[in-house]
């Protein structure tokens, strides 16, 4: 083992003089930074603000007596997420260990037994959905209607106290899921519209895509927030709905470009062969072109989901309390004014963990689809 470590280090870290100098400078500096961060986190940091403010971080200003609604929504989302993961890769023992570790960490951090107990229930629901689609392939056929029903149930459960009270990490997750789900079909239609043989459809879709890609997201969200009450005076759309609409119409343009690149990667010989067999254009696009195009653009599409989650803090401009804004609300309390490093470190770690899980699932999905094409 030691010989292998020396061989690896010589080959990767000290193969050339420049590599050796760079390793001598970077490695000690990195070790010093890691040591300083761990020393501060374990000795000087006051982490009690995190468990005390966990409710605000997770659900924002949502009423405390209605927190069961948020936990119900989290349970539904967990079940759907687990079912989706089961379609990509099977449930294994190390996955169960990771899921069991989450409530254990919350219990060690502190803040009572209620949050770890409810988290354990959510992890169990997620694991059940994961196992169900992993070992019962027939369950995958009902995943789409189950997902639609689940999203409706989430909004139905969360709506009674007031949509404007949604906040925290739950709002960021809901915004990401709704935008990712809605922008995909809209983006596919825009991509096909940009390739349409009808000039009017092609010009409209091209103009929409290029306009959205030329504007910053924060401006689109702000203008949708202003214009929706004017364009739809009788609807009374909440700020959350307007924010989701702004995100959806913005990211649909990017999804359209990703899908269009995938459409261009499909060999023309396949479509010509399908036409020679008498297939209609709709059947060709639905059965031959689109499945291959989506397989090609899986990495950018998943990266788009990660971009949506990281851009969710922009909804602060329309008065919503997302995950980052919830942390700032905690620091606005004079009692927590000296806990800036602790709160922002927790936010950074949370964003990093969510992003890492999305990236890990993307790699598994890419490998799964690549294996299916061989």
For residue 330, give the 3-state DSSP assignment: helix
H helices of 214-320, in order, are 217-231, 239-265, 268-276, 281-284, 290-296, 298-311
Range of the domain at 97: 64-160
Flag whether pLDDT at 116 surpasses 70.
yes
pLDDT of residue 208: 93
pLDDT of residue 254: 93
What confidence tens digit (pLDDT) does each residue in 96-112 have? 888 888 777 777 665 56
- Residues 8-14 have a mean pLDDT of 70
pLDDT of residue 111: 56
The answer on 204 and 297 residing in a single domain is yes
What confidence tens digit (pLDDT) does each residue in 230-287 have? 777 767 778 888 889 999 999 999 999 999 888 888 888 877 787 888 777 778 878 8
The answer on 175 and 136 residing in a single domain is no
The answer on 232 and 154 residing in a single domain is no
In angstroms, how far apart are the furthest CA atoms of the chain? Answer: 74
The answer on 144 and 119 residing in a single domain is yes
pLDDT of residue 257: 92
- Residues 84-102 have a mean pLDDT of 80
The answer on 51 and 40 residing in a single domain is no
The answer on 372 and 282 residing in a single domain is yes
Flag whether pLDDT at 93 surpasses 70.
yes
- Residues 307-336 have a mean pLDDT of 87
The answer on 15 and 54 residing in a single domain is no
pLDDT of residue 210: 92
CB 327 within 8 A of CB 347: yes
The answer on 362 and 259 residing in a single domain is yes
Contacts 24+ apart (CB under 8 A), 359-362: 359/302, 359/306, 361/85, 361/88, 361/302, 362/298, 362/299, 362/302, 362/303
The answer on 58 and 30 residing in a single domain is no
Band of pLDDT at residue 1, cut at 50, 70 and 90? low
What confidence tens digit (pLDDT) does each residue in 169-195 have? 889 999 998 999 899 999 999 998 988
Q: For the chain, what is the domain count?
A: 3
Band of pLDDT at residue 209, cut at 50, 70 and 90? very high
């Amino acid at each position: 083992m030691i010989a292998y470590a020396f061989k690896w280090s010589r080959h990767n870290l000290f193969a050339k003089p420049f590599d050796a100098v760079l390793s001598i400078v970077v490695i000690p500096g990195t070790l010093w930074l890691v040591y300083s961060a761990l020393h501060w986190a374990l000795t000087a940091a006051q982490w009690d603000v995190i468990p005390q403010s966990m409710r605000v971080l997770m659900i924002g200003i949502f009423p405390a007596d209605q927190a069961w609604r948020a936990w119900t929504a989290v349970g539904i989302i967990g079940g759907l997420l687990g079912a989706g993961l089961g379609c990509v890769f099977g449930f294994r023992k190390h996955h169960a260990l990771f899921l069991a570790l989450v409530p254990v960490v919350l219990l060690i951090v502190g803040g009572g037994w209620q949050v770890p107990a409810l988290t354990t229930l959510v992890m169990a629901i997620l694991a059940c959905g994961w196992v169900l689609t992993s070992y019962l392939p027939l369950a995958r056929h009902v995943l789409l209607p189950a997902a639609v029903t689940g999203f409706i149930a989430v909004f139905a459960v969360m709506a009674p106290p007031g949509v404007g009270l949604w906040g925290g990490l739950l709002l960021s997750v809901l915004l990401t899921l709704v935008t990712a789900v809605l922008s995909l079909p809209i983006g596919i239609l825009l991509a096909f519209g940009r390739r349409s043989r009808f000039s009017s459809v092609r010009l409209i879709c091209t103009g929409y895509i290029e306009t959205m890609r030329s504007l910053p997201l924060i401006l689109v969200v702000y203008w949708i927030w202003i214009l929706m009450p004017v364009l739809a005076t009788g609807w009374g759309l909440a700020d959350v709905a307007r924010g989701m609409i702004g995100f959806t119409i913005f990211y649909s343009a990017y999804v359209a470009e990703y899908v269009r690149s995938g459409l261009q990667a499909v060999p023309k010989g396949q479509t010509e062969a399908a036409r020679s067999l008498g297939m209609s254009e709709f059947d060709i696009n639905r059965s031959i072109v689109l499945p291959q195009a989506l397989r090609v653009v899986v990495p950018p599409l998943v990266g788009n989901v990660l971009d949506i989650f990281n851009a969710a803090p922009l909804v602060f401009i329309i008065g919503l309390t997302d995950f980052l804004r919830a942390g700032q609300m905690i620091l606005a309390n004079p009692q927590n004014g000296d806990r800036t490093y602790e709160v922002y470190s927790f936010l950074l770690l949370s964003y990093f963990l969510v992003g890492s899980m999305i990236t890990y699932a993307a790699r598994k999905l890419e490998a799964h689809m690549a294996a299916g094409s061989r």
